[in-house]
Structure 1
Amino acid sequence: MVSVVHEFEAQGVRCVVSSLEAWDNVLVVRYAGEYTTPPPHLCRDLSMRELMERARDEGFSSSVLAGRWEARDEAGTVYGYAGAEFGGGETAFEGKVMFRPSPPPLAGTLTLVPRDCEDRQLAEIRVVLPPAG
Protein backbone atom coordinates (compact mmCIF):
# COMPACT_ATOMS: atom_id res chain seq x y z
CA MET A 1 0.00 0.00 0.00
CA VAL A 2 1.17 3.52 -0.80
CA SER A 3 -0.18 6.61 1.00
CA VAL A 4 -0.89 9.28 -1.56
CA VAL A 5 -2.73 12.26 -0.03
CA HIS A 6 -3.26 14.30 -3.17
CA GLU A 7 -6.09 16.83 -3.13
CA PHE A 8 -7.86 18.44 -6.07
CA GLU A 9 -10.99 20.52 -6.45
CA ALA A 10 -13.18 20.76 -9.54
CA GLN A 11 -16.78 21.47 -10.42
CA GLY A 12 -18.24 21.55 -6.93
CA VAL A 13 -16.23 18.66 -5.50
CA ARG A 14 -13.10 18.60 -3.31
CA CYS A 15 -11.46 15.18 -3.51
CA VAL A 16 -8.50 13.59 -1.72
CA VAL A 17 -6.82 10.50 -3.13
CA SER A 18 -5.64 8.76 0.01
CA SER A 19 -3.99 5.49 -1.01
CA LEU A 20 -3.11 2.91 -3.63
CA GLU A 21 -3.21 -0.82 -2.99
CA ALA A 22 -1.32 -3.04 -5.41
CA TRP A 23 -2.58 -6.62 -5.09
CA ASP A 24 -1.46 -9.57 -7.19
CA ASN A 25 -3.96 -8.87 -9.95
CA VAL A 26 -5.65 -5.55 -9.19
CA LEU A 27 -4.79 -1.94 -8.37
CA VAL A 28 -7.13 -0.17 -5.92
CA VAL A 29 -7.30 3.64 -5.68
CA ARG A 30 -9.08 4.97 -2.57
CA TYR A 31 -10.45 8.49 -2.31
CA ALA A 32 -12.78 10.64 -0.22
CA GLY A 33 -14.13 14.12 -0.47
CA GLU A 34 -16.74 16.71 0.17
CA TYR A 35 -19.12 18.78 -1.88
CA THR A 36 -18.09 22.44 -1.99
CA THR A 37 -21.55 23.38 -3.31
CA PRO A 38 -24.82 21.49 -2.72
CA PRO A 39 -24.79 18.23 -4.69
CA PRO A 40 -27.49 17.52 -7.28
CA HIS A 41 -28.19 14.00 -6.09
CA LEU A 42 -30.00 14.60 -2.81
CA CYS A 43 -33.19 13.20 -4.33
CA ARG A 44 -32.89 9.58 -3.21
CA ASP A 45 -35.26 8.10 -5.78
CA LEU A 46 -33.04 8.80 -8.80
CA SER A 47 -31.55 5.99 -10.84
CA MET A 48 -27.78 6.05 -11.43
CA ARG A 49 -28.39 7.24 -15.01
CA GLU A 50 -30.64 10.08 -13.78
CA LEU A 51 -28.05 10.95 -11.14
CA MET A 52 -25.29 11.23 -13.75
CA GLU A 53 -27.50 13.29 -16.07
CA ARG A 54 -28.47 15.65 -13.25
CA ALA A 55 -24.83 15.97 -12.16
CA ARG A 56 -23.84 16.79 -15.76
CA ASP A 57 -26.68 19.28 -16.22
CA GLU A 58 -25.86 21.03 -12.97
CA GLY A 59 -22.13 21.19 -13.70
CA PHE A 60 -20.94 18.66 -11.13
CA SER A 61 -18.03 16.36 -11.75
CA SER A 62 -19.30 12.85 -12.24
CA SER A 63 -15.82 11.33 -12.23
CA VAL A 64 -15.85 10.72 -8.50
CA LEU A 65 -19.46 9.58 -8.65
CA ALA A 66 -19.05 7.20 -11.59
CA GLY A 67 -15.45 6.12 -11.18
CA ARG A 68 -14.23 7.65 -14.43
CA TRP A 69 -10.52 7.45 -13.79
CA GLU A 70 -7.56 6.49 -15.99
CA ALA A 71 -4.26 4.97 -14.90
CA ARG A 72 -0.94 4.79 -16.76
CA ASP A 73 2.73 4.29 -16.03
CA GLU A 74 6.02 4.90 -17.81
CA ALA A 75 6.38 1.17 -18.54
CA GLY A 76 3.43 1.42 -20.96
CA THR A 77 1.09 -0.83 -18.98
CA VAL A 78 -2.50 -0.84 -20.24
CA TYR A 79 -4.72 -0.56 -17.16
CA GLY A 80 -8.31 -1.64 -17.63
CA TYR A 81 -11.24 -0.56 -15.51
CA ALA A 82 -12.12 -3.36 -13.06
CA GLY A 83 -14.88 -1.74 -10.98
CA ALA A 84 -15.71 0.98 -8.49
CA GLU A 85 -17.54 1.56 -5.22
CA PHE A 86 -19.00 4.82 -4.01
CA GLY A 87 -21.01 5.97 -1.00
CA GLY A 88 -21.71 8.99 1.09
CA GLY A 89 -24.22 11.46 2.33
CA GLU A 90 -25.31 15.03 1.86
CA THR A 91 -21.90 16.63 2.46
CA ALA A 92 -19.20 14.00 1.94
CA PHE A 93 -18.40 10.78 0.09
CA GLU A 94 -15.81 8.05 -0.20
CA GLY A 95 -15.01 5.51 -2.84
CA LYS A 96 -12.56 3.37 -4.66
CA VAL A 97 -11.82 2.59 -8.26
CA MET A 98 -10.07 -0.59 -9.36
CA PHE A 99 -7.86 -1.36 -12.35
CA ARG A 100 -6.28 -4.50 -13.80
CA PRO A 101 -3.48 -5.44 -13.81
CA SER A 102 -1.48 -4.43 -10.78
CA PRO A 103 1.59 -2.30 -11.65
CA PRO A 104 4.49 -4.37 -13.01
CA PRO A 105 7.92 -4.35 -11.31
CA LEU A 106 9.28 -2.02 -14.03
CA ALA A 107 6.75 0.71 -13.23
CA GLY A 108 8.28 3.43 -11.09
CA THR A 109 5.59 6.10 -11.36
CA LEU A 110 1.84 5.72 -11.70
CA THR A 111 -0.26 8.56 -13.11
CA LEU A 112 -3.97 8.79 -12.23
CA VAL A 113 -6.30 11.00 -14.24
CA PRO A 114 -9.90 11.62 -13.13
CA ARG A 115 -12.17 12.91 -15.91
CA ASP A 116 -15.60 14.52 -15.90
CA CYS A 117 -18.63 13.45 -17.91
CA GLU A 118 -17.47 15.66 -20.82
CA ASP A 119 -14.09 13.81 -20.78
CA ARG A 120 -12.24 16.86 -19.41
CA GLN A 121 -9.22 16.12 -17.25
CA LEU A 122 -9.82 17.24 -13.65
CA ALA A 123 -6.37 16.49 -12.25
CA GLU A 124 -3.18 14.58 -12.90
CA ILE A 125 -1.89 12.70 -9.88
CA ARG A 126 1.62 11.20 -10.02
CA VAL A 127 2.55 8.59 -7.47
CA VAL A 128 6.05 7.19 -7.02
CA LEU A 129 5.72 3.45 -6.56
CA PRO A 130 7.94 1.57 -4.10
CA PRO A 131 10.56 -0.71 -5.61
CA ALA A 132 9.31 -4.22 -6.37
CA GLY A 133 10.25 -6.96 -3.96
Structure 2
Amino acid sequence: MSLYIAHFLMKEENASLSTQPPYDVNRREKRHFIASHLFTASDAEAAYDRAIGMLPGLSDANHDGPGDRTNVEPVGIFDLDEVFVAEGQVVTGLSQPYGIDVGVLFIEELLCQRTRTKQELTVFAGPRDGRAEQL
Protein backbone atom coordinates (compact mmCIF):
# COMPACT_ATOMS: atom_id res chain seq x y z
CA MET A 1 0.00 0.00 0.00
CA SER A 2 1.21 3.47 -0.85
CA LEU A 3 0.60 6.67 1.06
CA TYR A 4 -1.36 9.48 -0.63
CA ILE A 5 -2.41 12.99 0.30
CA ALA A 6 -5.55 14.61 -1.08
CA HIS A 7 -6.04 18.36 -0.86
CA PHE A 8 -9.71 19.30 -1.03
CA LEU A 9 -10.84 22.82 -1.90
CA MET A 10 -13.56 23.63 0.63
CA LYS A 11 -16.17 26.39 0.81
CA GLU A 12 -17.38 27.68 4.16
CA GLU A 13 -20.49 29.83 4.25
CA ASN A 14 -21.52 31.63 7.43
CA ALA A 15 -25.03 33.03 7.54
CA SER A 16 -26.54 35.27 10.16
CA LEU A 17 -30.30 34.72 10.21
CA SER A 18 -33.08 36.72 11.80
CA THR A 19 -34.28 34.98 14.98
CA GLN A 20 -37.96 35.37 14.07
CA PRO A 21 -39.88 33.74 11.21
CA PRO A 22 -39.39 33.75 8.23
CA TYR A 23 -35.70 33.57 9.32
CA ASP A 24 -34.31 35.74 6.54
CA VAL A 25 -30.55 35.95 5.99
CA ASN A 26 -29.21 39.24 7.39
CA ARG A 27 -25.56 38.69 6.49
CA ARG A 28 -23.63 36.05 4.56
CA GLU A 29 -19.86 35.46 4.41
CA LYS A 30 -18.01 32.95 2.23
CA ARG A 31 -14.42 31.81 2.39
CA HIS A 32 -12.39 28.97 0.95
CA PHE A 33 -9.74 26.77 2.50
CA ILE A 34 -7.82 23.58 1.80
CA ALA A 35 -8.47 20.44 3.85
CA SER A 36 -5.70 17.84 3.50
CA HIS A 37 -6.19 14.14 4.21
CA LEU A 38 -3.47 11.48 4.34
CA PHE A 39 -4.49 7.89 3.51
CA THR A 40 -3.29 4.63 1.96
CA ALA A 41 -4.31 3.08 -1.37
CA SER A 42 -3.00 0.34 -3.62
CA ASP A 43 -2.36 2.62 -6.63
CA ALA A 44 -3.18 6.03 -8.13
CA GLU A 45 -6.58 4.95 -9.49
CA ALA A 46 -7.60 3.51 -6.11
CA ALA A 47 -6.40 6.72 -4.40
CA TYR A 48 -8.51 8.80 -6.77
CA ASP A 49 -11.56 6.60 -6.16
CA ARG A 50 -11.08 6.87 -2.40
CA ALA A 51 -10.68 10.68 -2.57
CA ILE A 52 -13.86 10.92 -4.67
CA GLY A 53 -15.60 8.76 -2.07
CA MET A 54 -14.52 11.15 0.70
CA LEU A 55 -16.25 14.18 -0.88
CA PRO A 56 -19.79 13.59 0.48
CA GLY A 57 -18.47 13.06 4.02
CA LEU A 58 -16.64 16.38 4.03
CA SER A 59 -19.90 18.38 4.04
CA ASP A 60 -21.02 19.68 7.41
CA ALA A 61 -23.33 22.25 8.95
CA ASN A 62 -23.70 23.63 12.45
CA HIS A 63 -25.53 26.23 14.46
CA ASP A 64 -23.43 28.13 16.98
CA GLY A 65 -26.48 29.81 18.45
CA PRO A 66 -29.75 31.45 17.52
CA GLY A 67 -29.55 33.04 14.10
CA ASP A 68 -26.16 31.56 13.18
CA ARG A 69 -25.57 28.81 10.63
CA THR A 70 -22.32 27.56 9.11
CA ASN A 71 -22.26 25.30 6.06
CA VAL A 72 -19.07 23.60 4.89
CA GLU A 73 -18.92 21.74 1.59
CA PRO A 74 -16.22 20.46 -0.72
CA VAL A 75 -15.83 22.20 -4.06
CA GLY A 76 -13.60 19.43 -5.42
CA ILE A 77 -10.21 17.79 -5.23
CA PHE A 78 -7.56 20.48 -5.53
CA ASP A 79 -4.66 18.05 -5.73
CA LEU A 80 -3.83 14.40 -5.12
CA ASP A 81 -0.28 13.15 -4.76
CA GLU A 82 1.63 10.11 -3.63
CA VAL A 83 3.76 10.66 -0.54
CA PHE A 84 7.18 9.07 -0.56
CA VAL A 85 8.71 8.35 2.83
CA ALA A 86 11.55 6.16 3.96
CA GLU A 87 10.25 2.86 5.31
CA GLY A 88 9.87 2.90 9.09
CA GLN A 89 10.17 6.68 9.29
CA VAL A 90 6.43 7.43 9.34
CA VAL A 91 5.87 6.29 12.94
CA THR A 92 8.97 8.15 14.09
CA GLY A 93 7.97 11.26 12.16
CA LEU A 94 4.43 11.26 13.53
CA SER A 95 5.76 11.21 17.09
CA GLN A 96 8.00 14.26 16.56
CA PRO A 97 6.90 17.57 18.15
CA TYR A 98 5.59 18.94 14.84
CA GLY A 99 4.65 15.67 13.16
CA ILE A 100 5.33 15.26 9.43
CA ASP A 101 5.38 18.35 7.23
CA VAL A 102 3.14 17.62 4.26
CA GLY A 103 3.71 20.93 2.51
CA VAL A 104 2.22 24.39 2.22
CA LEU A 105 -0.51 25.77 -0.02
CA PHE A 106 -0.42 29.52 -0.56
CA ILE A 107 -3.90 31.02 -0.43
CA GLU A 108 -3.02 33.90 -2.78
CA GLU A 109 -2.09 31.39 -5.48
CA LEU A 110 -5.26 29.41 -4.89
CA LEU A 111 -7.51 32.42 -5.41
CA CYS A 112 -6.88 32.42 -9.16
CA GLN A 113 -6.96 28.64 -9.65
CA ARG A 114 -9.86 26.30 -10.21
CA THR A 115 -10.24 22.74 -9.04
CA ARG A 116 -8.56 20.32 -11.39
CA THR A 117 -9.76 17.50 -13.57
CA LYS A 118 -8.57 13.99 -12.81
CA GLN A 119 -5.93 14.18 -15.55
CA GLU A 120 -4.48 17.39 -14.08
CA LEU A 121 -3.88 15.96 -10.61
CA THR A 122 -0.24 15.48 -9.62
CA VAL A 123 -0.58 11.75 -9.17
CA PHE A 124 -1.58 11.38 -12.84
CA ALA A 125 1.01 13.86 -14.18
CA GLY A 126 3.37 11.26 -15.60
CA PRO A 127 6.34 9.14 -14.63
CA ARG A 128 8.29 9.96 -11.51
CA ASP A 129 12.07 10.13 -11.34
CA GLY A 130 12.00 7.28 -8.81
CA ARG A 131 13.60 9.05 -5.87
CA ALA A 132 11.93 8.87 -2.49
CA GLU A 133 12.16 11.87 -0.22
CA GLN A 134 13.59 11.24 3.23
CA LEU A 135 11.97 12.59 6.36
Please indicate the TM-score interval, normalised by the length of the shorter structure: under 0.3
User: 1 or 2, which has the higher strand percentage?
Assistant: 1
User: 1 or 2, which has the higher helix percentage?
Assistant: 2
* TM-score, L = length of structure 2: 0.27
Structure number with greater CO (CA < 8 Å, separation at least 6) is 2
Tell which structure's C-alpha radius of gyration is larger. 2
